Amino acid sequence: MDISVGVVAVGDTSHREVAELTEELREAVGRLRGVAGVEAVETSAPGGAKGVGQVLGAFLVSLPSGLVPAVLEVVKSIVSRPSQPPVQIELTAGSAKVSFDPSQIKPGDLAALVEALRPKAPGG
């Protein structure tokens, strides 16, 4: 399965901070055993945005669905460090899209995100 991981700036987080954090996340996720591939994704401010707009970094991860919890743990552990700028994480897998604040999310909520991203069985 493929998961798109987006890093969205919060507050006055700069484009450079988002780019550096996105690169660190991309490298860390790419080191997970079982990840088939990680590629950078070109991003831009949402259509119709005025002024600076959202700063967004993103990458695409190809992996077996069983590795989704490991990817979320890596993202959470890196982004929730006190030295990191405030960001929101957006994850998209197929038609499922979830977003969360890595510094605030609880383990039970993380489990719910994993479930939301898992591929659904055909027919229900």
**What's the pLDDT tens digit per position in 92-120?**
998 999 999 988 888 889 889 988 988 77
Q: Is the dihedral of CA 117, 84, 107, 10 positive or negative?
A: negative
Cβ count near 8 (within 10 Å) = 18
What integer pLDDT is reported at residue 49 of this predicted model?
A: 46
Query: Which of 18-27, 51-60, 109-118 is predicted most confidently?
Result: 18-27
Position with higher pLDDT, 73 vs 121: 73
**What's the pLDDT tens digit per position in 61-88?**
999 988 999 999 999 999 999 999 999 9
Q: How would residue 46 be classed by pLDDT, with cut points 50, 70 and 90?
A: low
Give dist(CA 4, CA 7) in Å, integer: 10
DSSP letter for 90, please.
E
Give dist(CA 96, CA 116) in Å, integer: 7
Instruction: Please report the domains of the chain, with CATH numbers, ordered by start residue.
Output: 2-117 (3.30.70)
